[in-house]
Amino acid sequence: MIRQAVIMAGGLGSRLKGRTDTMPKGFIELGGEAIVRSSIRKLISAGIEEIIIGTGHCSEWYEKLADEMHILTCVRNNEYADTGSMGTLLRCAENVTGDFLLLESDLIYDSVGLFALINEQRSNVILASGATASGDEVYLEADSDANLVRHSKNRNDLSGIYGELVGISKLTKKTLDAMVAHCNAHLGDEPRMEYETAMSAVSAAAEPGDKIGILKLDDYAWREIDDETHLAMAAEKVFPEIVCREASRAVRREVLLNPGPATTTDSVKYSQVCADICPREHEFGDVMEWISHELSLMAGKPDAVETVLFGGSGTAADEVMVSSCIPDGSKTLIIDNGAYGTRLSKIASVYKLDTEVWKSSGYLPLDVPALKEKIAGGGFTHLVMVYHETTTGLLNPVPELCRFAREHGVTTIVDAVSSFAAIDIDMDRDGIDFMASTSNKNIQGMAGIGFVFCRKEALEKTASYPMRNFYLNLWDQYQYFKKTHQTRFTPPVQSMYSLRQAIIETKVETIAGRYARYSACWDVLVKAVDELGLTMLVPREAQSKLITAIIEPDTPAYSFDTLHDFARAHAFTIYPGKLSDANTFRIANIGDIRPEEMKAFTVLMKEYFRGIGL
């Protein structure tokens, strides 16, 4: 698994003087985006967790970018004016922990090159193209096994030309260390060494298995931008070509306005297309361990939370909590103000737990003072509640009630299936002991994984609880995973990879940023609802801004199915209501959706409702 990338960005860009006196080359824009930003975006989409940028000239530009994107780590080459790219790579080497991608900062390229390198069998391999006629080609000579022999800008230096160096490579840590050693050994005679030189030297000296291979994509669209001619070529020809090729691989867009599975990015979809692996391999265990660790960090402070993964949906995670965290002899209060609260109480009754159900309206806020009185005086050991009632869009006051419950010694169990990764949650701060969510809602992954977040001390207490079930037992799975980095039973392998990608993308957007985007979509929806004179079921201030239940107009001309089919024909999927005592339809705004798309949906919605005389 390739987790890191290094971008060498220390250079002066002296052949683009005028543009690069006070700015690094990577910040030259094409199509309204700095070329390095576009490269970073493609690396993130390819599943890179950390991007190390070797900076030098005008390093503050990169440092500012790193403040905005926590996936970036800047390493400054203070001697950038007197060293070549290898001098910059040398300084980044310490931060590299395993196999990685190495890129130049002044490139535009088709993202397919990253896919090809990552999926290439050889672990050291550099990307090459056919002839570009760019005027600054670095030619590559290869041996009969397509391994790098030497490179030169002068074709006459080589006994044959295999391809042109693109400036994107996949290397092992071992090869990097050998390149660093080579550079250090030649500092005196070659202080301005370029990284290609170190690669050629290392490949020539390497044992057969450690040679650096060349992967040639004949018709590959890319350009390095070193001078004005390159920039003109890039703007006129190469950049539009790249945009066109990448667009041809976009998956047909369907915007899901149902409350999960939510719309995913293409990169999350594509992350499932990867090499087969037996989930008992270490490499896969590391992926699951990373997922579990990163999810824990999203739910609380470092070391405060353990996240246990199960193959299953959100309901599976709910059932894990209810069946594994409430021992015999407990007395549990379950708050039920919607379909998911009802479901939790059904699960509790299947396990024959001693429960009392607090029934409340599906669309009015909970009576907090009355509930507090109940919690304080009812002799309860456990409180079970739903954070966000997806039935109606009602957001329950979990922090207030759970903190209160904890102060009264009550263990708190929360269904955060449709709130986690949108609403800011810190389990310690918010008084939550156990919390369930799933891979296909706000975290924006594929369906198939349920997870249970546990406050460590609360989890430890469950160690002695007799098992009431097998597959869904929390402590059994936790312990097994802790020891082996494996789930006890077959995990949904490809869904795990897509969850990993979804986590990377969530970290880039941040949970606060994601909620801001969701809220912006909600604002667009609510404006249209108001303009149409429709009514929302839940008072605005009690809404989650994640899903909206809208009361159906009282006219025989209205038909949910017709509205649904009309929206669906335009690639929007909407959802029926779920209350027995109010006729509603629901529009969710979670997932990879943008305000412009919600705007397009509201145009359709208006067309439909005006068509039936509203």
Binding site for Mg ion (CB under 5 A): 106, 136, 224, 226
Q: Where are the alpha helices (DSSP H) in 216-367?
A: 228-233, 239-247, 266-270, 282-299, 314-324, 339-350
- Min separation Cβ 299 and ligand PLP, Å: 16
Cβ atoms 376, 405 nearer than 8 A: no
Taking the C-alpha atoms of residue 612 and residue 614, their distance in angstroms, rounded to an integer, is 6
**Torsion sign across C-alpha atoms 240, 246, 251, 257:** negative
What mask, x for binding ligand PLP by CB under 6 A, covers residues 250 to 289?
Answer: ---------xx-----------------------------
Neighbours of 503 (CB within 10 A): 23
From the list ligand PLP, Mg ion, none, partner contacted by residue 260 (C-beta under 5 to 8 A by kind)? ligand PLP
Q: Between residues 11 and 47, which has the closer beta carbon with respect to Mg ion?
A: 11
Indicate whether 432 belongs to the interface with ligand PLP (CB under 6 A).
no
- Report the residue from 113, 314, 448, 591 that binds ligand PLP according to the rule CB under 6 A: 314
3-state secondary structure at position 337: coil
Indicate whether 543 belongs to the interface with ligand PLP (CB under 6 A).
no
From the list ligand PLP, Mg ion, none, partner contacted by residue 136 (C-beta under 5 to 8 A by kind)? Mg ion
Q: Between residues 142 and 262, which has the closer beta carbon with respect to ligand PLP?
A: 262
- Report the residue from 201, 212, 231, 386 that binds ligand PLP according to the rule CB under 6 A: 386
Q: Between residues 15 and 599, which has the closer beta carbon with respect to Mg ion?
A: 15
From the list Mg ion, ligand PLP, none, partner contacted by residue 479 (C-beta under 5 to 8 A by kind)? none
Stretch that binds ligand PLP, among 213-221, 235-243, 313-321, 599-607 (CB under 6 A): 313-321
Stretch that binds ligand PLP, among 126-134, 158-166, 414-422, 512-520 (CB under 6 A): 414-422
| Residues β-bridged to residue 386 | 415
- Please identify the residue of the shown chain whose CB is closest to the bound ligand PLP: 314
3-state secondary structure at position 454: strand
- Report the residue from 124, 390, 442, 506 that binds ligand PLP according to the rule CB under 6 A: 390
Q: Which of 485, 508, 500, 413 is nearest to 449 (CA)?
A: 500
- Report the residue from 110, 415, 430, 433 that binds ligand PLP according to the rule CB under 6 A: 415
Tokens 């290898």 found at: 86
Contacts with ligand PLP: how many residues (CB under 6 A)? 14
Indicate whether 418 belongs to the interface with ligand PLP (CB under 6 A).
yes
* CB neighbour class for 498 (10 Å; exposed up to 12, middle 13-18, buried from 19): buried
From the list Mg ion, ligand PLP, none, partner contacted by residue 120 (C-beta under 5 to 8 A by kind)? none
- Min separation Cβ 467 and ligand PLP, Å: 22
Indicate whether 384 belongs to the interface with ligand PLP (CB under 6 A).
no
Q: Where are the alpha helices (DSSP H) in 101-164?
A: 112-119
Instruction: Give strand ranges (E) for 319-476.
Output: 332-336, 355-359, 382-386, 388-389, 394-395, 411-415, 434-438, 449-455
CA distances from 6 to 168, 250, 500, 603 (A): 10, 26, 20, 44
The residues near 209 (Cβ < 8 Å, ≥ 6 apart) are none
Q: Between residues 128 and 598, which has the closer beta carbon with respect to Mg ion?
A: 128
Taking the C-alpha atoms of residue 411 and residue 382, their distance in angstroms, rounded to an integer, is 5
Q: Which residues bind ligand PLP (CB under 6 A)?
A: 259-260, 313-315, 318, 340, 386, 388, 390, 415, 417-418, 438
